[in-house]
Amino acid sequence: MAQDIVTRFAPSPTGFLHIGGARTALFNWLFAKHAGGRMLLRIEDTDRARSTQEAVDALIDGLTWLGLDWDGDPISQFSRVDRHREVVEQMLADGTAYRCYSTPEELDAMREKARAEGRPPRYDGTWRDRDASEAPAGAAAVIRIKAPREGDTVVDDMVQGRVVIPNKDLDDFVLMRSDGTPTYMHAVVVDDHDMGITHIIRGVDHLTNAARQTLIFKALGWDVPAMAHIPLIHGPDGAKLSKRHGATGAEAYRAMGYLPQAMRNYLARLGWSHGDDEIMALDDMIKWFGMDAVGQSAARFDFKKLENLNGHYMRSTPDPELLDHWKIYLGHAENGDAVLSWLAAGDHENVALAALPGLKERAKTLVELTESASYLWRQRPLDTDEKAKKILDADAGTILGDLHGVLSAVNDWTAEPLEAAVKGYAEDKELKLGKVAQPLRAALTGRGTSPGIYDVLTALGREESLARIQDQAA
C-alpha cells in the first residue's frame, strides 16, 4: 500500500501571514492534494510574549483568504509541553540525553576559548559524562542531547540533494531549558512524529536545523520524515524579501486589491514551474505539482508580473464571484465601509454587477476597479477632476443639452440603442465621435477617463444618467 502523505504548515504567530510563509503553506497544500494526502496546521506558539490570540487569528485569516484549508483542528505547540518533557525524560533514561549544569558564565568562557583557538563557538561537553551528584547545590540544569561525535549526518533533501554534515560540527545542543520549556528544535521533532508527518516542506533557511532534528529522530528510534527545503523569496533587488520591499504579509496584498486566485498562481510559480505555463487553474496546479520541479535558486518577487497576472484573473473571474471578492477587499480597504453601505442599499448590487463587465476590462487590481467604479455612488452635483473640467467647456454644454434630448427619446435603455443614438447625433452634427463622447463621459462620471460610456449609461440607468447630463447641459 502506498504511503499516506501528511504534510504540515507550522508558522509562528507574528501578527500576519508572511508572504514567504504563504508560499510554504501553498507548497505543502499542493503536495498533499496531489498525493491525495492531508495537510495539518500547527501553530508554534511557545513564545508566549508574541503568541496572542490576535496573532493566531491573523494567520488563520491569511490562509483562509488564500483558500488554503487544512485537515483537522489547528494544533497548539504550547499545549503539548507535557509531551515534550515526557520525551526528554525518555531520552535521559535511554542515555541519549543528559543534564548539563554549566553556568552562563562558563558557557561564555567556552565560546571565547573556542574563538581564540579558531574553532566554532560551541558547547564543549563538560557535563556529557559527569554524574548529576557533582552539580553545585541548587543548580538548575538544561537537558542536552548526547550527539554522536564520529561520522556524518546525512539529509537526503528532495530539493537541495544530498547534504552531509560532519557530526563533529553538531554539538550537544539543548533540548529542554532549565525552566522546563522545550527548545524549538526538540518540540518540532516530537510534534512531527506524533502528528504522523511524512514530508517536511519548508524554507531553505531551515536546512541547518535539519541535521540536528535528524539526530533527535534517530536518538528516539523514530523514522525521519522526507525533507524538502525550498528556496527563499527575494525582493526585486535580489535581497531577502523584507519590510523595506513593501508588503510582506498576505493581508497587505489583500488590501492592495489582489485576488486570492492570482496570489496562489503567482506564489506557485515562485520556485516551481511546469514547462512554460504561467497561468494555471488550481486543479492543474494540484495535478502537476511535485518537488522535482522546485529549483534551488532564490525566487525574485516581481510586482509587475503579479499585477499583470491579477489583471488576467480580474477579467476571467465571473462577475458574481468578482463582486464577492470586491466586497471582501472593501472590508479591509480605507473608506471601504462607505462603498459597502452603498452596495447594501436598494438594488445597488445589481447596478454594480451591470457595471462590472466594463470595469474589470480596464482594472488590474480591486483598488483600480474601485476607483473606476466610483462614478456609481458619487452624489450629484458631481465633483470633477481637472481633466473633466477642461472638457466641460461651453461647447460641451451645448452638446450635452442636445444629447439630453436625444437620449430622452431612447426607450430601450441598453447599450446597443444608446450607442446608435449617440453615434447618430454625432453624424447629424458632423462631429467626430470623441467630440461627443468626451463631454458625455465627463458629465456622467466627473472624470476624464472611465469605462466605456455605453457601459456607464446602462449601469447608471435612465433617470440618473439623464439627470447628470442635465447638470452639465448649457
Selecting among 33, 218, 243, 364, the annotated active-site residue is 243
Give the 3-state secondary structure of residue 174: strand
> Is 243 one of the annotated active-site residues of the chain?
yes
Q: Where are the alpha helices (DSSP H) in 132-206?
A: 184-194
Report how far residue 381's alpha carbon sits from residue 70's, in angstroms, rounded to the nearest whole number. 51
What is the distance between the alpha carbons of residues 404 and 62, in angstroms, rounded to a whole number? 49
Cα–Cα distance, 364 to 232 (Å, whole number): 27
**CB proximity list for 403: less than 8 A, separation 6 or greater:** 422, 425, 436, 440, 469, 473
Please name the amino acid found at residue 219. Answer: A
Three-state DSSP class for 458?
Answer: helix
- What angle in degrees, to the nearest 10, is found between the helix axes of 184-194 and 81-94? 100
| Alpha carbons 175 and 88: distance in angstroms, whole number | 7
Beta bridge partners of 182: 176
Confirm if 410 and 461 have CB atoms less than 8 A apart.
no
Cis ω for the linkage preceding 381 (within 30 of 0):
yes
> Taking the CB of residue 143, how many other CB atoms lie within 10 A of it?
22
What does the DSSP assignment read for 91-147? HHHHTSEEEE---HHHHHHHHHHHHHTT-------TTSS--GGGSPTT---EEEE--
**Which of the residues are catalytic?**
243
